[in-house]
Structure 1
């Protein structure tokens, strides 16, 4: 089957190749309505498909953004991806999504793959362990934005929640409800992941501000598969915590699994607040009190920043952290 070319479309519509090219690139400023309709009809009748590779080479742009998430199982990640896709779609950009599984080597391979595919920019939820690669992209003036995490000494724009405030909102609500023995559980901070470290720091600061003791046995930051055992050990203490802050959605899931398996009652046996508005929070019985992130605003800001870098070719001279406000959503779990 002979491939239909732009020349064939131009002849069929009785217009110049330049006019067809302008139509395909949505440059309609000096194009009459009837001309547009003729070109559109010719494309439809001939079944013309633009050569995306050739166009990319000519325009020196693939109109594609890479998005590398640390762990796609996080509700936060999937919601941010959706917001990024929505924003990019409106700007006629496509996205390629990669899941690094919090694995630095996997992240490195995905970065190299996306660069080889000549995507115009990358949004990364960084593992933090590929500093040389991040710095090289920065030195090359490559459009790059971080989400949910910062990397020390790497001056790349970052989209972040006000994580310390998120923890403070939770602790303040626990205190308001009369709880004094308060714990926190989150996934591992072995690689000093900024958002998790900030939430723990905010938790400690808030306890101190409310004149409550900071008990090491009430604070656990470990791999997901060990969280339930850690909660079991915590609740077996002579004076166990009365309330737990789940530092993210994966931690919350493990806490809820343990509660169900051991026939505990929320909030009678254990009050719970989670950071991240999970989809089932309002449906769970009792409803789950959460600290919500403005995920769609954060995703759109990330997309806007990387597209701005692409369009202006402006190099980020200093790291700028865009902080977003958390919000307490009160339900019955606390």
Structure 2
């Protein structure tokens, strides 16, 4: 059976090939609603399937972008992926999502695979250990945007949270409630992952602003499976913490499990605030105060920066864009 072509669609709809092409590229502003309807009906009646490969060769674009997340288990990561997919779908692009599991080798393999597939650009939550690879993309003028984590010396456009302010919001709330023995726990800072380091630094700065000495015994970092041990260390101290800042949603999960296992009451035994909003925060008992990242706004900004690079529109932007978090007050503090 002969393959249906764009010419067949144009004849059936009684419009020009260029009009059908504009329709397929979603340039609807160039045609009336009646014309759109005719083309849509012709495509359906003829069962026309656009030749994606031919379209890619002609327009020098695969209309595909990659997203390499550091750890897909983070609520923030899934929120970002969903918003990026929605943004690019509206612009006629598809996305390929890869999960690096915070492993530089896995990240490297995924980036190389995506480039081999000739994606038009990549949004990366960088592990930080593939500097040569990042530099090569930069020198190749390949469209790339970093998300959540900064490597400022590379001059790659980056979108991330104002992490210092996120910690300050939490510490300010703890102090307002009368707590002074305040601890922070983050996942491992191995490889100097910038959000975790910045949240610890923001925590220290906020304590100092309130005239509270920084107690290094109250600062803990560990992989998720070791968080429980770190909590035990905190509560075995001569002066255990009155409040805990969980550095991300994974840490918050571990903190809440520990509290339940040891029959500790929140906030009576210890107050808790988590950085990253989680789906259960407003119905957990007690409800959990969180510092919320503007995930949709961050995703849209990263997607726009990448699309500008792909389309070569606007002035080159290599800056780090930091967005402000908000404190969602509930009953855990």
Q: Distance between the aligned counterparts of 2:85 and 2:22, measured in 1? A: 26
Against the structure 1 CA distance between its residues 313 and 105, is the aligned structure 2 distance closer, same or farther, given a 3 Å change threshold? farther
What secondary structure sits across from 2:154 in the alignment? coil
Against the structure 1 CA distance between its residues 2 and 115, is the aligned structure 2 distance closer, same or farther, given a 3 Å change threshold? same
Q: Distance between the aligned counterparts of 2:313 and 2:172, measured in 1? A: 44
Partner of 1:102: 102
Partner of 1:54: 54
Partner of 1:180: 180
C-alpha contact (below 8 Å) 2:26/2:92 kept by paired residues: no
Partner of 1:228: 228
Against the structure 1 CA distance between its residues 328 and 18, is the aligned structure 2 distance closer, same or farther, given a 3 Å change threshold? closer
Unaligned runs of 5+ in 1: none
Query: Which has the higher mean CA deviation after the structures are superposed, 250-259 or 32-41?
Result: 32-41
Against the structure 1 CA distance between its residues 281 and 35, is the aligned structure 2 distance closer, same or farther, given a 3 Å change threshold? closer
C-alpha contact (below 8 Å) 1:277/1:291 kept by paired residues: yes
Q: Distance between the aligned counterparts of 1:275 and 1:126, measured in 2? A: 20
Query: Which has the higher mean CA deviation after the structures are superposed, 306-315 or 60-69?
Result: 306-315
Query: Which has the higher mean CA deviation after the structures are superposed, 184-193 or 212-221?
Result: 212-221
What secondary structure sits across from 1:84 in the alignment? helix
Partner of 1:197: 197
Query: Which has the higher mean CA deviation after the structures are superposed, 239-248 or 306-315?
Result: 306-315
Partner of 2:266: 266
Describe the superposition over 1:69-118 as per-residue Cα deviations: whole angstroms up to 9, x where unpaired.
10011011111111112211221222111111001011011101111111
Unaligned runs of 5+ in 2: none
Describe the superposition over 1:42-82 as per-residue Cα deviations: whole angstroms up to 9, x where unpaired.
21111001011110111001111111110011011111111
Q: Distance between the aligned counterparts of 1:18 and 1:214, measured in 2? A: 67
Against the structure 1 CA distance between its residues 30 and 158, is the aligned structure 2 distance closer, same or farther, given a 3 Å change threshold? closer
Partner of 1:328: 327
Partner of 1:286: 286
C-alpha contact (below 8 Å) 2:104/2:129 kept by paired residues: yes
C-alpha contact (below 8 Å) 1:146/1:157 kept by paired residues: yes
Count of residue correspondences: 333
Describe the superposition over 1:211-254 as per-residue Cα deviations: whole angstroms up to 9, x where unpaired.
21211211111111100111011101111111100000000000
Against the structure 1 CA distance between its residues 286 and 30, is the aligned structure 2 distance closer, same or farther, given a 3 Å change threshold? closer
Against the structure 1 CA distance between its residues 34 and 275, is the aligned structure 2 distance closer, same or farther, given a 3 Å change threshold? closer
- In the TM superposition, what are the counterparts of 1:70-89 in structure 2 within 5 Å? 70-89=70-89
Deviation at 1:310, TM superposition (A): 1.0
Name the TM-score, length of structure 1 as normaliser. Answer: 0.95
Deviation at 1:28, TM superposition (A): 5.2
Name the TM-score, length of structure 2 as normaliser. Answer: 0.95
1:3 maps to 2:41: no
Partner of 1:112: 112
Q: Distance between the aligned counterparts of 1:221 and 1:14, measured in 2? A: 67
